[in-house]
Amino acid sequence: MQPRLLQPLIMLAAVIVGGTLGYVLVEGWDPWDALYMTVTTVATVGYREVHPLSRMGQAFTLLLVLMGVSTALYAFSAFATVVAEGGWTRYVERWRNTRMIENLSGHYVLCGFGRIGSIVANEFRRQKTPFVIVDRSPERVRAAVAEGHLAVEGDASREDTLRLVGVERARGLVAAVGTDAENVYAVLTARVMKSDLFIIARAEGEDSQQKLKKAGADRVISPYRIGAVQIAQTALRPAVVDFVEIATSSENLELSIEEIRIERDSPLAGRPLSDAIPRDTLNVVVVGIQHALGRMEFNPPPDTSLNPGDHVIVLGSPAMLKQLERTAK
């Protein structure tokens, strides 16, 4: 509810309730007749009187007309002002966003819509991954909504804000707020609210990376360090960089790289790699396996056993990868 509409509506409701009680007490009418007389009087529709009025009733009606009509005009003018200024449209949009966020599950919470956050948001949308943005700045929230994203204005380090965006139902959280201190608080709050949440945090300095990990971040990313490494790799191995970009880009329709998690009840669990993911049948390439204990094994041999908690990194066509993902589940 718009704050500017709340007071006029309360005043109008008070006039209607007061008028109804007045007719009940002054004239002795039943509540329905009293309410009908009050509404028709305040609305100035000019219908007949429900019952003949006494002198006291006429005086009360005059007072009700003066108070009711002025209050109704005040409420109408407030509503017209809100509509003219676009406030009602913003209220409807916020209501719609709230309903959409309540229906989200398995999504990502993106804290911050600055230079890094906006790039992450566009990548999430390109990958058709559900997410919701949290930012303190009203301007950035409006910019995010204008681009078609779900966004909420608030402090990402507060529990009520994270609860509003459904962090308990979320798949992961990306802390990309402007400062390392804010990211630490956001990570710490999210970790307390959901212990198994996958959290990625942006870091500016080396010392901040350790603090973010201690706060509960599963991965800590330094954009400056990654950018520098990318520049160096492009200078030294441009063909390799081009291949990785093609393999990880969803815009390429012939080749994609995906991460398949082996669940405890997966039919692939406990089976050797050659039997679980036959290359001649699925036409995919197993690039590596990140084992449940954290060890990364590149180009694993065919007799490698797949265990619950392993993440298999596979390269192939999107259709084949989707089929493999369904099989793994």
Identical fold, 105-226 and 251-328: no
Which pLDDT value is given to residue 168? 92
Which residues partner with 153 through β-bridges?
135
> To the nearest whole percent, how much of the chain has pLDDT over 70?
91
- Residues 42, 15: contact at Cβ < 8 Å? yes
- Please give the mean pLDDT across all residues of the chain: 84
Query: Is the pTM higher than 0.85?
Result: no
What's the mean pLDDT in 299-317? 87
- For residues 75 and 82, give the distance between their C-alpha atoms in angstroms, rounded to a whole number: 11
Which pLDDT value is given to residue 4? 62
CATH dotted code for 105-226: 3.40.50.720
Q: What residue spans define the domains of the chain? A: 3-84, 105-226, 251-328
Q: How far is CA 137 from CA 2, 85, 114, 156, 190, in A?
A: 20, 21, 10, 11, 20
CATH superfamily of 251-328: Regulator of K+ conductance, C-terminal domain (3.30.70.1450)
Residues 6+ apart with CB under 8 A from 301: 273
**CATH architecture, domain 3-84:** Orthogonal Bundle (1.10)
E strand spans, the chain: 108-111, 131-135, 151-153, 172-175, 198-202, 219-221, 256-261, 285-290, 296-298, 311-316
- For residues 243 and 252, give the distance between their C-alpha atoms in angstroms, rounded to a whole number: 11
pLDDT band at 133 (very low <50, low <70, confident <90, very high): very high
Q: Per residue in 103-128, pLDDT tens? A: 888 999 999 999 899 999 998 988 88
- Residues 273, 303: contact at Cβ < 8 Å? yes
Burial of 90 (0-12, 13-18, 19+ CB in 10 A): middle
Q: Per residue in 273-297, pLDDT tens? A: 888 888 777 788 888 898 888 788 8
Q: Per residue in 6-57, pLDDT tens? A: 777 888 888 889 989 988 998 889 999 889 888 888 887 767 778 888 888 8
- For residues 320 and 299, give the distance between their C-alpha atoms in angstroms, rounded to a whole number: 19
Burial of 97 (0-12, 13-18, 19+ CB in 10 A): middle
